[in-house]
Amino acid sequence: MALPNPVIIVPGITATNLRDEYPISPETVWSVLSKDYTRISLHPDNCRYEVNEPARIQPDNIMSIAYNELAEELRYNLREKEDKPVPVYPFAYDWRQPLDLIEEQLALFIDEVIERTKLMRNYVKDGYTGNPKVNLVGHSMGGLVIAGYMQSAGKSCKVAKVVTLATPFKGSYEAVIKVTTGTANLGVSSPSSRERESARVTPALYHLLPSCPGLIVDPKLPQKNLYDPSLWQRSIYQTLEEYVRLYAVNSKNPKQQAEELFNALLSSASKHRDKVESFTLKNAGLSSNDWLAVVGVNTETRVRLKIVTTPKGPDFEFSSSDRSNKWDSNNVEEKKLTGDGTVPFEGAVPSFLKPENLVCITPDDFGYWELQDKIISKAAGFHGMIPNMNMIHRLIVRHFTGRKDYHGNTWGRSVPGVAKDKWQPPMELDYKE
């Protein structure tokens, strides 16, 4: 059997530690235990750089709480012999940046991983150098980075197989709350209202805005999506206007500059969403059997957002009733009102796969001995803990190796509306109701 391709893990938003390399001894400015919003906030004149210069914020390592177990399990189980290791690389990136920029960095990293793998004796003997490729695992926003990279690269992309876990292909309503209030169920960190100012100048966050069903717009307002600036409440502009006044190099017209900044952030994110929506497996040289898309369900998730008209303009009406979990419903459309706690079901469905190709998982899929992960999942959210699930590790290994499962250790569920006999995941799996 041929050796599995080297693997790259692409984490989600906020899940890479950041460090400031301007000091002679680099200082951590973002980690599980330390979050310096003042130092990671971006400049209104150029969102690629920090507002408080001089600085040089760079990605450090990906967060071990979410991905260490995944990486170690893949490294151990993908290999067949001790002396034939299969490389599993974490791809740390600056999750604040526009996804197009991150995709360019991923392309370079893929080339690096391939060149390094060509130096491994077991891979050279296996003929890897003839047509070198990698396999990718993307969690949450990491899956959007992968899809965007592959759309740009087309058939020249050097990817054989892909796994995406809880990826918001059509966005998440939590992104709206993050931009509006600074608190939301995004990433692996606890929400804080201190994030609001920083969030509003974070380009990547706008790439997560929802384009899935659930947006309820007052008939008096333009019936458009959230990439239209006219649907946003004025408080966003007012905060950005003050931000520009305080930090722009030249703040002669803060109001106009704030509007231009906000419009540019929305426009860039909209173009990227269109790019992902236009992606097809065929154009990347892949088939549906090459992409395992895992969707988290059976967790209360925000599935709708109402925008109302007020004398001051549009206003987001956030309500606890907009969070729903109807997974146990017998009605197909109602059953879709669920998610993984962060990404609604309909936000996790990619355009380039058929519904019958998707694999749904629930918190009940944590094993008996995964008590700690179950507890963390309940406290921190199912979305962030999906990469830690043992069954997910087994699914990925099977997908990348083609191994059979003779003991029923891998399973899944079809999406609402797809019968058991119509379910077509990329590998044979036990079916759970």
pLDDT string in tens for the chain (433-residue length):
689 999 999 999 999 999 999 999 999 999 999 999 999 999 999 999 999 999 999 999 999 999 999 999 999 999 988 889 999 999 999 999 999 999 999 999 999 999 999 999 999 999 999 999 999 999 999 999 999 999 999 999 999 999 999 999 999 999 999 998 865 455 444 445 457 788 999 999 999 999 999 999 999 998 889 999 999 999 999 999 999 999 999 989 999 999 999 999 999 999 999 999 999 999 999 999 999 999 999 999 999 999 999 999 999 999 999 999 999 999 999 999 999 999 999 999 999 999 999 999 999 999 866 655 555 555 558 999 999 999 999 999 999 999 999 999 999 999 999 999 999 999 999 999 8
| C-alpha span between 147 and 276 (Å, rounded) | 6
**125 CA to centre of own chain:** 36
| C-alpha span between 223 and 237 (Å, rounded) | 20
* Residue 318 CB-half CA count within 13 A: 14
CB 189 within 8 A of CB 36: no
pTM, entire model? 0.95
Query: What one-character-per-residue DSSP string does 67-124 give?
Result: HHHHHHHHHHHH-SSTTS---EEE----TTS-HHHHHHHHHHHHHHHHHHHTT-HHHH
Residue 373 is predicted with a pLDDT of: 56
Residue 184 is predicted with a pLDDT of: 47
Residue 189 is predicted with a pLDDT of: 47
CB 200 within 8 A of CB 247: no
Lookup: tokens for 202:
């974070």
Residue 381 is predicted with a pLDDT of: 82
| Cβ neighbour number for residue 142 with a 10 Å cutoff | 31
CB 281 within 8 A of CB 290: yes
Residue 83 is predicted with a pLDDT of: 87
CATH for the 7-205+280-300+321-431 domain, from 3.30.160.60, 3.40.50.1820, 3.10.20.30, 3.90.1170.20: 3.40.50.1820
Lookup: tokens for 93:
């990136």
3-class SS at 2? coil
| C-alpha span between 56 and 48 (Å, rounded) | 10
Residue 397 is predicted with a pLDDT of: 98
Beta bridge partners of 308: 315
Put residue 214 in one of left, alpha, beta given phi > 0 → left and psi -120 to 50 → alpha.
left
Handedness of CA 99, 102, 106, 107 (dihedral sign): positive
Handedness of CA 359, 362, 363, 369 (dihedral sign): negative
Residue 218 is predicted with a pLDDT of: 95
